Amino acid sequence: MIFKDENAAMVKLGVGKNMVKSIRFWAEVAGVLELGPKGGHKITRFGHEVLGHDGHDPFIQRQETLWLLHWKIAANPWQPFFHWQQMLNFWHRNEFSASEVMPFLKRGLPANVKMRSPRTIADGFRVFVASYVPPRVRKGEIAEDTLDCPLVELGLIRANGERPAAGEIARETIYTFHMEDKSTVTPAVFAWALAEFWRNRYPQEHSIPFQLISTGEGSPGQIFKLPELAVRKRLDELSAITNGALTFTDSRSLPSAVRKDLPEEEFFLDAIFSEAA
C-alpha cells in the first residue's frame, strides 16, 4: 500500500510529506482506507466498490458519491469527527457564525480530548465550513490557494451575509444549513444511509421510529439536513428500493422503519448507481 512508505508516497503522488499525511487522514475519515492487520493501510470494500478502478464512480463525477463520502465523514459512531458531529447533530438552528459557535463547541468537548485551545477549535471550525462553502477569490490570489473541497458541490452550507461579531467591531460571515429537500439524496442514497445507521447504531433492533430516523444523532435526516417531509417521502420508497427487505409502517401511534433483512452495502451501492445512471 502506497502510504506504508511516506517517502515513496511523496514520489508517487508528487506531493510533500504533510500532504501525504493529509491525504491519508482524509481517506481514512471518508471510509476509503483502513488500518491493515499487519500494519499500514488497505482500501476498504467501500473504497473498492465506489472509487476503485472498476468501481461505480472512480473519478467522483456524481453528487451521489459526494453524499456517500459526506456520510462516511460525518456519521462514524466509533470515531466521531468532532466538528462534524457537533454541528450536524447538536447545533439546532439553521443559522450560525464563528463567534456564536465557538462557546458551543467548547462545551461539547469530551473531558479526555486534548484539542482544547481556542485556536485549535477555531481551525477545526474553519475546516468544517470550508469543506462545504466555496472560498471568496480575491484579486491576485493564486488559483491553487482557493481550490474548493469537492463537498462544496453539495450546497449543504451557504454563506448568507455578514454581521458584527459578538462583542467585536469587525464583521463576520453568517452561514446557514440548506434544510430543504435535496434531489441528489436519492431514495437509494437514503436507503443506504439508513442501513448504515441501522447496522452501526441499532444492530439488534428490528424497527426504528420515524423520529429517530429524522432527528436522532447520526441519522439520515440529521446528516443530510433533510426536513421531515423529505425523510417521509424517501421512507415511502424504502420497500421498492430494497425489494421488501426494509419497509416503512406509517401507523398513527409510532411510524417506523421495519426490517426483515439488512442487505449488504454492495446491494445499496448497486442500486444507487443504477438509479443515477
pLDDT digits (tens, 9 = 90+) for 54-106: 999 999 999 999 999 999 999 998 888 999 999 999 999 999 999 999 999 99
- Kindly calculate the radius of gyration of the chain based on its CA atoms and give it in whole angstroms: 20
> What is the percent of the chain where pLDDT is above 70?
86
For the ranges 11-15, 18-22, 231-235, the lowest mean pLDDT is seen at 11-15
pLDDT of the residue at 150: 93
pLDDT of the residue at 200: 95
Distance CA 185, CA 68 (A): 9
Strand order in the sheet with 171-177: 95-96, 171-177, 157-164
> What is the percent of the chain where pLDDT is above 90?
68
Distance CA 248, CA 192 (A): 15
Go through the domains of the chain in sequence order and give each one's CATH number: 95-178 (no CATH), 187-276 (1.10.10)
pLDDT at 143 over 50: no
pLDDT of the residue at 116: 72
pLDDT of the residue at 11: 37
For the ranges 87-91, 99-103, 142-146, 252-256, the lowest mean pLDDT is seen at 142-146
Higher pLDDT, 154 or 137: 154
pLDDT of the residue at 165: 77
The predicted-structure confidence for 34-58, as pLDDT tens digits, reads as follows 887 777 788 999 999 999 999 999 9
Q: Which has the closest alpha carbon to 89: 6, 177, 4, 174?
A: 177
Q: Which has the closest alpha carbon to 27: 11, 37, 13?
A: 13
pLDDT of the residue at 10: 46
pLDDT band at 126 (very low <50, low <70, confident <90, very high): very high
Buried b (16+ CB within 10 A) or exposed e, 11-23: eeeeeeeeebeeb
Confirm if 272 and 56 have CB atoms less than 8 A apart.
yes
Q: Is 250 exposed, middle or buried (0-12, 13-18, 19+ CB in 10 A)?
A: exposed
Confirm if 92 and 179 have CB atoms less than 8 A apart.
no
Which residue reads 426483515 in cell numbers? 260
The predicted-structure confidence for 190-221, as pLDDT tens digits, reads as follows 999 999 999 999 999 999 999 999 999 999 99
Q: Is 121 exposed, middle or buried (0-12, 13-18, 19+ CB in 10 A)?
A: buried
SS3 215: helix
* Run of H or E residues at 201: helix 187-201
Q: Which has the closest alpha carbon to 153: 221, 218, 230, 67?
A: 67
Q: Is 177 exposed, middle or buried (0-12, 13-18, 19+ CB in 10 A)?
A: middle
